[in-house]
């Protein structure tokens, strides 16, 4: 059922201009996607919400937009050249490549779902071996569980090997596409302190593209090779590590809960199963996808790992002198995948609803402040001067809000189309408009219709679909 719904979601995203496979006319490219006209609006609204929540509500968090290409020493200092590895196993018959831990996790989810003890025991062994990088034991586990290739159903596996996930640029010695945005924050640490007179504790936020040569890049937007991250590095006194780690875990979860996602399908804060090479502690905010609870955002304590290594490699001091102390600050990181969050929002908002008259409608119940289009303006019929009035309303209000004007189909079909892309309000100009300067306002969720004066349209859209309400609520938690 869920898998079927996921296929429906992928097709809905394409038909309504949210997500297209990249280079589709040439047969597409594995795990790379393009955002269509409605997709880019939704994505920009998510970014805007995150950016304002971080850099506008917090007076001690500033932004940066660093380059994707960086000096090659950055990736030596950050540990990515030596340690940003995944394990991989090949299947000799299918010639397919897998991540062994994911093969095991999927096997356990599928076969031990009603035997929690067995599940726990197997996963603990897996995580112990991952921690110790004991490739032999992971291979033994695959053999003991008799895991076979999902397509060929045979067990003809190779040994497990390491595989670096960074994309190296050919003909450019040692240049890489960045695998995380965080390093552009660390390398600008001193520039930002000096230019913006920052004092500990303070944060630097960034939204940008990252690239990872994922071995199993699949599951639509969940695991891509080119994706976007929204990251914030918060610089603190080392002795305040726990305090800020707990603070950011709590605050990031609160932010997610403002997205109106069904709580039970929703996030848990879990200790990260397998810590990244830079992290001292890590927690994930997870979502229950059709393929199980999966990470959307990580909150990590990176300690002084990055700044210390950049000091060593660059021979430049990356310290602060405050409170009569000269020290390298610790860092708490919040790292959210924009495309993964897009997928979560799309998945949890897309509904098939049975209406009172027995028909089914497809509706995208996004929070109003994230909807790609805030309102649609229609004339009831394409004659008697109604299109002209509707067009005038559109032209007056479009300066303030993202709207559409549509007259291409019957009113019922126009409503259905706006439901399918998540537009909160539709305003229809009819014959009464000529006499009373009022229009019918229809709400996406309640389907209620009421008459309002033309002058009220812009104010209603502003009040109901703007970020003000949600930002105000979040500001209480700071
Ligand atoms: P995973 O274990 O799922 O590979 P990760 O622990 O490697 O994720 P981080 O390095 O902590 O992920 O990156 C922070 C966030 O970036 C993740 O929570 C996720 O939302 C996003 N992200 C990471 N890799 C990808 C990817 N290949 N495609 C889309 N988003 C990703």
- Report yes or no on 429 lying in a domain: yes
341 Cα nearest atom in ligand 1: 20
**What's the token pair of residue 243?**
């305090």
Confidence of residue 36 (pLDDT cuts 50, 70, 90): very high
Q: Let me know whether 373 and 464 are in one domain.
A: yes
**pLDDT tens profile 124-178:** 999 999 888 899 999 999 999 999 998 889 999 999 998 899 999 987 778 999 9
Ligand 1 lined by 66 (C-beta under 6 Å): no
Query: Last residue of a domain, which of 164, 188, 223?
Result: 164
Q: Let me know whether 132 and 20 are in one domain.
A: no
At 150 the pLDDT is 83
Residue of the nearest CA to atom 12 in ligand 1? 298
Pair 442, 415: CB distance under 8 Å? yes
At 260 the pLDDT is 83
Q: Let me know whether 197 and 133 are in one domain.
A: no
What mean pLDDT is reported for the chain? 93
At 7 the pLDDT is 92
Pair 411, 419: CB distance under 8 Å? no
Question: Would you say residue 9 has pLDDT above 90?
Answer: yes
Confidence of residue 2 (pLDDT cuts 50, 70, 90): low
**pLDDT tens profile 394-427:** 999 999 999 999 999 999 999 999 999 999 999 9
Contacts 24+ apart (CB under 8 A), 289-293: 289/219, 289/222, 289/343, 289/344, 289/347, 290/2, 290/3, 290/5, 290/6, 291/106, 291/219, 291/222, 292/109, 293/268
Name the region of 132 (left: φ>0; alpha: ψ -120 to 50; beta: rest).
alpha
Question: Would you say residue 1 has pLDDT above 50?
Answer: no
Beta strands in 39-104 (DSSP E): 61-63, 85-91, 97-98
- Report yes or no on 142 lying in a domain: yes
Residues in the chain: 478
Give the phi and the psi of residue 133 in degrees, each rounded to 5: 55, 40
Domains: count for the chain: 3
What is the spatial distance between Cα 99 and Cα 71, in angstroms, rounded to a whole number? 30
Ligand 1 lined by 282 (C-beta under 6 Å): no
Pair 401, 462: CB distance under 8 Å? yes
- Report yes or no on 375 lying in a domain: yes
Q: Let me know whether 271 and 178 are in one domain.
A: yes
Ligand 1 lined by 178 (C-beta under 6 Å): no
Question: Would you say residue 466 has pLDDT above 90?
Answer: yes
Q: Let me know whether 309 and 179 are in one domain.
A: yes
- Report yes or no on 417 lying in a domain: yes
Spacing, Cα 337 to ligand 1 middle (Å): 6
Beta strands in 110-225 (DSSP E): 157-164, 167-168, 176-177, 202-211
At 264 the pLDDT is 67
Ligand 1 lined by 296 (C-beta under 6 Å): yes
Average pLDDT over residues 208-227: 91
Ligand 1 lined by 283 (C-beta under 6 Å): no
Average pLDDT over residues 58-71: 97
Q: Let me know whether 235 and 294 are in one domain.
A: yes
Higher pLDDT: 95 or 464? It is: 464
Ligand 1 lined by 300 (C-beta under 6 Å): no
Question: Would you say residue 278 has pLDDT above 90?
Answer: no
Confidence of residue 285 (pLDDT cuts 50, 70, 90): very high
- Report yes or no on 79 lying in a domain: no
Average pLDDT over residues 187-196: 96
Q: Let me know whether 230 and 289 are in one domain.
A: yes
Average pLDDT over residues 42-66: 98
Spacing, Cα 118 to ligand 1 middle (Å): 27
223 Cα nearest atom in ligand 1: 28
Pair 139, 157: CB distance under 8 Å? yes
**pLDDT tens profile 312-324:** 999 999 999 988 8
For the chain, give the percent of residues with pLDDT over 90: 82
Q: Which residues contact 429 (CB under 8 A, 6 or more apart)?
A: 377, 378, 379, 380, 386, 389, 390, 393, 439
Question: Would you say residue 262 has pLDDT above 90?
Answer: no
With CA atoms as reference, report the closest residue to 60 among 245, 199, 238.
Answer: 199
Ligand 1 lined by 289 (C-beta under 6 Å): no
- Report yes or no on 475 lying in a domain: no
What CATH number should be reported for the domain holding residue 465?
3.40.50.800
DSSP sequence for 401-430:
S-EEE--SS-HHHHHHHHHHHT-SEEEEE-
- Report yes or no on 477 lying in a domain: no
Query: Last residue of a domain, which of 346, 380, 399?
Result: 346
For the chain, give the percent of residues with pLDDT over 70: 97
DSSP sequence for 90-103:
EETTT--EE-HHHH
Residue of the nearest CA to atom 13 in ligand 1? 335
Q: Which domain holds residue 143?
A: 85-164
First vs last C-alpha separation in the chain:
41
At 467 the pLDDT is 97
Query: Greatest CA separation found in the chain?
Result: 81
Spacing, Cα 238 to ligand 1 middle (Å): 26
């700071």: which residue's tokens? 478
212 Cα nearest atom in ligand 1: 27
Pair 72, 110: CB distance under 8 Å? no
What is the spatial distance between Cα 280 and Cα 301, in angstroms, rounded to a whole number? 5
Q: Which residues contact 330 (CB under 8 A, 6 or more apart)?
A: 235, 236, 237, 238, 240, 241, 301, 302, 303, 304
Question: Would you say residue 75 has pLDDT above 50?
Answer: yes
Question: Would you say residue 303 has pLDDT above 60?
Answer: yes
Pairing assessment for the beta strands 425-429 and 375-379 based on DSSP bridges: parallel
Q: Let me know whether 334 and 369 are in one domain.
A: no
Residue of the nearest CA to atom 16 in ligand 1? 337
At 174 the pLDDT is 82
3-state DSSP call for residue 385? coil
Count Cβ neighbours within 10 Å for each residue of 268-279 and write b for 16 or more, e otherwise.
Answer: eeeeeeebbebb
Pair 272, 335: CB distance under 8 Å? no
Residue of the nearest CA to atom 1 in ligand 1? 295
Pair 399, 388: CB distance under 8 Å? no
Q: Which residues contact 459 (CB under 8 A, 6 or more apart)?
A: none
What is the CA angle 231-402-375, rounded to 5? Answer: 115
Average pLDDT over residues 55-82: 96
Q: Let me know whether 177 and 261 are in one domain.
A: yes
At 432 the pLDDT is 97
What CATH number should be reported for the domain holding residue 262?
3.30.930.10
Ligand 1 lined by 230 (C-beta under 6 Å): no
3-state DSSP call for residue 16? coil
Q: Let me know whether 233 and 323 are in one domain.
A: yes
Q: Which residues contact 273 (CB under 8 A, 6 or more apart)?
A: 123, 127
What is the spatial distance between Cα 345 and Cα 148, in angstroms, rounded to a whole number? 34
Q: Let me know whether 185 and 254 are in one domain.
A: yes
With CA atoms as reference, report the closest residue to 166 among 79, 100, 295.
Answer: 79
């Amino acid at each position: 059922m869920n898998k079927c719904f996921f296929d429906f979601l992928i097709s809905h995203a394409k038909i309504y201009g949210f997500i297209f496979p990249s280079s589709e006319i040439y047969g597409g490219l594995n795990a790379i996607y393009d955002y269509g006209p409605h997709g880019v609006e939704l994505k920009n609204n998510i970014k805007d919400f995150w950016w304002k929540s971080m850099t506008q509500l917090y007076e001690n968090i500033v932004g940066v937009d660093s380059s994707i290409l960086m000096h090659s020493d950055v990736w030596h200092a950050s540990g990515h050249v030596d340690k940003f590895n995944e394990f991989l196993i090949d299947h000799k018959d299918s010639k397919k490549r897998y991540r062994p831990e994911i093969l095991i996790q999927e096997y356990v989810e599928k076969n031990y779902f009603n035997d929690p003890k067995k599940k726990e025991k197997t996963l603990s062994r897996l995580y112990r071996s991952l921690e110790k990088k004991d490739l032999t034991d992971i291979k033994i586990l695959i053999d003991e569980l008799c895991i076979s290739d999902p397509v060929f159903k045979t067990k003809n596996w190779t040994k497990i090997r390491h595989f670096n996930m960074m994309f190296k640029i050919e003909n450019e010695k040692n240049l890489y596409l960045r695998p995380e945005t965080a390093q552009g924050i660390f390398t600008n640490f001193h520039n930002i302190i000096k230019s913006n007179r920052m004092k500990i504790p303070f944060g630097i936020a960034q939204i940008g593209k990252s690239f990872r040569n994922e071995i199993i890049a699949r599951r639509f937007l969940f695991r891509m090779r080119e994706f976007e991250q929204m990251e914030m590095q918060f610089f603190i006194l080392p002795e305040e590590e726990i305090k800020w780690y707990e603070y950011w875990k709590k605050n990031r979860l609160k932010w997610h809960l403002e997205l109106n996602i069904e709580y039970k399908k929703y996030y848990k804060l879990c200790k990260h199963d397998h810590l990244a090479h830079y992290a001292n502690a890590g927690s994930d905010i997870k979502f229950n996808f059709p393929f199980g609870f999966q990470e959307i955002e990580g909150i990590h304590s990176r300690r002084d790992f990055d700044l210390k290594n950049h000091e060593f490699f660059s021979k430049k001091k990356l310290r602060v002198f405050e409170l009569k102390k000269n020290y390298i600050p610790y860092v708490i990181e919040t790292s959210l995948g924009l495309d993964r969050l897009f997928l979560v929002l799309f998945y949890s908002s897309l509904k098939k609803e049975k209406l009172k008259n027995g028909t089914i409608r497809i509706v995208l119940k996004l929070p109003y402040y994230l909807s790609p289009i805030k309102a649609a303006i229609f004339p009831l019929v394409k004659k008697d001067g109604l299109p002209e009035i509707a067009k005038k309303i559109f032209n007056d209000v479009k300066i303030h809000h993202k709207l559409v004007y549509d007259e291409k189909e019957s009113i019922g079909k126009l409503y259905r189309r706006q439901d399918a892309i998540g537009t909160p309000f539709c305003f229809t100009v009819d014959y009464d408009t000529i006499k009373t300067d009022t229009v019918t306002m229809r709400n996406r969720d309640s389907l209620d219709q009421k008459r309002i004066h033309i002058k009220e349209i812009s104010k209603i859209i502003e009040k109901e679909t703007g970020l003000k309400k949600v930002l105000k609520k979040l500001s209480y938690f700071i």
